[in-house]
Structure 1
Amino acid sequence: MKHLLQKAWLTRGALACLLWPLSQLYGLVVRLRRALYRRGTLRSERFPVPVVVVGNVIAGGAGKTPLVIALVRHLQAQHVAVGVVSRGYGRSGTGCVEVSAGSPLAQTGDEPALIQRMTGVPVFVADRRTDALRALLAVHPGTAVVICDDGLQHYALQRDIEIAAFDDRGTGNGWLLPAGPLREPWPERKHQGLDLVLHTGSKPAFDGFTSRRHLADDAWSSSGSQLALAGLRGRPVTALAGIANPQAFFGMLSDLGLTLETAIALPDHHAFTEADLAGLQGRTVLCTEKDAVKLFAMPAAAGLNVLAVPLVFSPEPAFFDAFDALLAPRLSPLPSTHGHQIA
């Protein structure tokens, strides 16, 4: 086993070295594109409301969608009218769509549907986030703040506040795609307009605010009924996750004392089919809320015991204090003419 692990490590290292030239080229393209926006060669658009972009510098899920939901709820608690825009990654539809409870997931994507269901705020998706934001303000002109779910690299949309989420991977090997996980150079990007960094894992790799995340005590079914997870202890359960880091979900279930008979890890934004549900009859299946948005809409899931386990995501109070301090001077009935564009 030791020799196999060493061989695997050497193989990954050799592959990364082979991809290093492509990584360097990617870095040049990223810097050139940013420079073109900064100089005005490529057009970017400003809107008359504060825009908060929440995204990732690292590829793959790092907790940005739970962070978007937490920010929306924070603003709702202060009676601030907030809306959300997104590209709707993974959707097959085109055009601009307002997400509602009855919207087909193929037109909206799973994460926008989850955000809308969890918060009830206006959520618009479009291939260009600027189109989504324009449509949102046209339909909901009283919106005071717009949060962009993902989009740190979408420079066509000017923003007032930038927030990056990181998980326990930190910046990985520190290399850009495809040799590493970074979408933009780090720490270079940190000094180019990024306002806040939030670590969503348990082991922050560098300075920034932290958050706690754990699973709720109760799971819920497609009918809305709840079941205490403590009542499942000692019984074999099946765990299913189509997210960026399925092992994190499985680990949190195990930490609750649950016995995972089977753990089914699927790709992020997985498009479930009836074949995925074959063989699950008679089992208790625990999934994430993101997966439940899709599973509960499937007729084939109606006869299964599928339960969604909510994630409790709690950024530290100091993070919200810093966010409020940045947003307060930008909350105004007048058009926003401040904030950074492309630093």
Structure 2
Amino acid sequence: MYFWYRPVKAWMWILYPFSILLRVISAIRCHLYKKNILKSTKISLPIIVVGNISVGGNGKTPFVIWLCELLQKQGYKPGIISRGYGGKSANYPLLLTDATLGSESGDEPLMIFKRLRVPIVVDPSRVQAALHLQRNADVDIIITDDGLQHYALQRDIEIVIVDGKRRFGNQHIMPVGPLREPLSRLNSVDFIINNGAEHEGEISMYLAPLACKAVDGREAQLHHQGAVNACAGIGYPQRFFDTLEAQNFQLNQVQYFSDHHTYKPKDFTQFDKQTPLLMTEKDAVKCAAFAPENWWYLPISAQLPGSFEKQLLQKIKALQ
């Protein structure tokens, strides 16, 4: 919500009791898991959690893709588990295949699957997802996409992604602010990744745009940097539009959609059909079935320092 990233207004203090309640519940829950009063499951494979302490749009998915590619280059066989936000399957756990629909798996898991072709299991229970992945896929390390607060599954490494521009907004717990947990939670994680800026004690990550690809799946690239239309249904759409302008695209018509929006052809009737339409890779997986030839998506690639790669790989090797 936009007001989370602006100074606190007087009316927002009406929500403050709910923030206190959420903070107390979070603290009690963490304590119960640490004392083994609530069951926490440890599986035999290493678990890396990639999450955040604030709501949405921080750049977690590009980092997960980067991490998988790094592990593959080192000879590991990574798999991914996810809650599958925005999707609903008739059966869980759901092991993704080429026949899986975004409405079943959620857009982010399907996007990652189409990009990397690594085993991915979706389940609201990360424990069930991890066990299913371990038993039914050839993997030797598991990345959980989100799930920092899912303490029922024990983890070996915790990585938090922070939006370098918006940071933590007004620094309050929901619903007054965007935080899921207090900022003090950052003191216990292994790495803090800063998306798009530099900050002391954090690892800088930058997102590099690649060549635009056809939404309908054709082997084609967009060789055009003039006027385009653009849409985005992600946590922080403005970052996508800023990226397009930085690539010298001239934005004609722009449309924001809610994060994880379920697209239908009628959502695009306002766009001029003659002008190329650009969207994010996450949006594209939900539009491929009805996309015309002049719809394109912009893939991005995360870039992180080599020193961080060495630190992370050393920590992973120490788990074996």
**Structure 2 letter corresponding to 1:208:** E
1:166–1:201 contact (8 Å) kept in structure 2 = no
Match of 1:143 in 2: 139
| TM superposition shift of 1:312 | 2.0
2:217–2:288 contact (8 Å) kept in structure 1 = no
Identity of aligned pairs, percent?
33
1:109 to 103, 106, 111: 106
**Structure 2 letter corresponding to 1:29:** I
1:155 to 147, 151, 160: 151
2:243 to 242, 252, 261: 252
| TM superposition shift of 1:212 | 1.4
Match of 1:319 in 2: 308
Match of 2:3 in 1: none
Match of 1:26 in 2: 22
| TM superposition shift of 1:225 | 2.5
State the distance in 2 between where 1:209 and 1:113 align. 27
**Structure 2 letter corresponding to 1:16:** M
Q: 2:206 matched to 1:212?
A: yes
2:66–2:301 contact (8 Å) kept in structure 1 = no
**Which blocks of at least 5 consecutive residues in structure 2 are unaligned?**
1-5
State the distance in 2 between where 1:77 and 1:220 align. 27
State the distance in 2 between where 1:24 and 1:207 align. 28
**Structure 2 letter corresponding to 1:130:** V
- Structure 1 length-normalised TM: 0.87
1:169 to 154, 166, 181: 166
**Structure 1 letter corresponding to 2:242:** G
Change (3 A) 1:220 1:317: farther
State the distance in 2 between where 1:87 and 1:163 align. 17
Moved more, 40-49 or 167-176: 167-176
**Structure 1 letter corresponding to 2:197:** S
2:125 to 104, 128, 131: 128
2:295 to 298, 302, 306: 306
**Segments ≥4 residues shifted beyond 3 Å:** 217-221
State the distance in 1 between where 2:78 and 2:99 align. 21
| TM superposition shift of 1:172 | 1.5
State the distance in 2 between where 1:238 and 1:304 align. 14
> Larger C-alpha radius of gyration, 1 or 2?
1
Change (3 A) 1:211 1:115: same
2:228–2:251 contact (8 Å) kept in structure 1 = yes
State the distance in 2 between where 1:166 and 1:68 align. 14
1:209–1:318 contact (8 Å) kept in structure 2 = no
| TM superposition shift of 1:110 | 0.5
Figure out how many residues of one structure are paired with residues of the other and give that number.
312
Match of 1:336 in 2: none
